[in-house]
Structure 1
Amino acid sequence: MKAFSIEAAPLAAKPQIGSMLSAYLAELGVGEPYQYFHQYWVEPGQRYPFLIRHHSDLAGFAFVRRVERFEMAEFYIVPGFRRVGIGRFAVEELVRQFTGLWIVRAFPGNERALLFWRSALRSHYIKHLVEGSEGERIVFTFESLRAR
């Protein structure tokens, strides 16, 4: 069995992801509930929820959204699983799965997240990576390529 895996989150995983989402929002200092949570299971083709695992342990989640391009709407790795490569693995798997134009946003004060994204987005599956700003957020735009 692979050490890391990422899979589409079934409806049955919603409570587990909801619990992780609460921890994620608290870590970001966000007090209000995440208004789009339920839509990830009712808008196929537009919103995609994922579970990230280390062996069989739930290690995080990712929400990918598609409007005009793909967006990493939310991405969270449980603190005990950070800095072992699972986040980088999950990002690479997602950009390989959803080829095309992407956007990732991060808060400027969240240095750990910015370091992570600057590192994780250096992949041979990514081209034309641009870092910029959009309002109060740091924005990474890029194009993902199909696996060769």
Structure 2
Amino acid sequence: MELVRVRKEDREILANLLEKHLYEFSQWDLKEVNPLGLYGYQYLDYYFTEENRWAYFIMVEENLAGFVMVITLPEVHDRETDFQMAEFFLLHKYRRKGIGYEAFRRAADMHRGKWQLKLHPGNIPSVHFWEKSISRLTEGDYELVKAYPGTDYEDGTPGDVYFFES
């Protein structure tokens, strides 16, 4: 497994993977598609024009397995942060094999500092993955605030937010 920085010329590939991610996530946030039948990711182009955003493909044996997207903008503004996990996606074929944790660990190693990570509490597989992964990475030294005020998803559900250091 390796993380490979997404280049501007790979924008369409990332956009395609984001559609798969957003489709899967729509079962929790209930987001609708646009008139073109797409979810769209409004911040995609910023990853190629702003210095405080990083997108990486997760590669397994030279195959696309998913992506990691990191930003410096905080999820919640009343807590200091260096990085936020903006988006994280692993294709089903590669799940439950340690690849997701390894991608997360490598991203955290590349971006050392204080992190925020928000998740939808209804996304039970994600809840289990992040609890296990963050606990393992930090050796249990993290904070989780459930239903953090002002973090509502499209369906009105407040997000749970992890705070930790890498």
The one-letter code matched in structure 2 to 1:7 is V
Q: What CA deviation, in whole Å up to 9, does each residue of 1:20-50 have, x standing for no partner?
A: 1001101111334221111011102x11011
Does 2:8 align with 1:11?
yes
Q: What CA deviation, in whole Å up to 9, does each residue of 1:75-97 have, x standing for no partner?
A: 00011111111110000001111
Does 2:30 align with 1:24?
no
1:101 maps to which residue? 114
Aligned residue among 106, 120, 134 for 2:133 = 120
Once the 2 structures are TM-superposed, how far is the Cα of residue 127 of structure 1 from its aligned partner?
6.6
1:54 maps to which residue? 60
In structure 2, stretches of 5+ residues that fail to align are 33-38, 74-80, 150-157
- Which is higher, the Rg of structure 1 or of structure 2? 2
Identity of counterpart residues, as a percentage? Answer: 26
In structure 1, stretches of 5+ residues that fail to align are none
Query: Could you list the runs of 4 or more consecutive aligned residues of structure 1 that deviate by over 6 angstroms after TM superposition?
Result: none
Cα 1:95/1:126, change in 2 over 3 Å: farther
- Greater strand content: 1
The RMSD of aligned alpha carbons is 1.5
TM-score normalised by L of structure 1: 0.88
The one-letter code matched in structure 2 to 1:20 is L
Which moves more between the two structures, 123-132 or 61-70? 123-132
Contact 2:68 2:87 in 1 (8 A): yes
Q: Secondary structure at the match of 1:34?
A: coil
Counterparts of 2:96 and 2:116, CA distance in 1: 23
Q: What CA deviation, in whole Å up to 9, does each residue of 1:78-133 have, x standing for no partner?
A: 11111111110000001111111001110010000010001111235567311113
Counterparts of 2:139 and 2:72, CA distance in 1: 17
Aligned length: 140
Counterparts of 1:65 and 1:84, CA distance in 2: 26
Counterparts of 2:86 and 2:139, CA distance in 1: 18
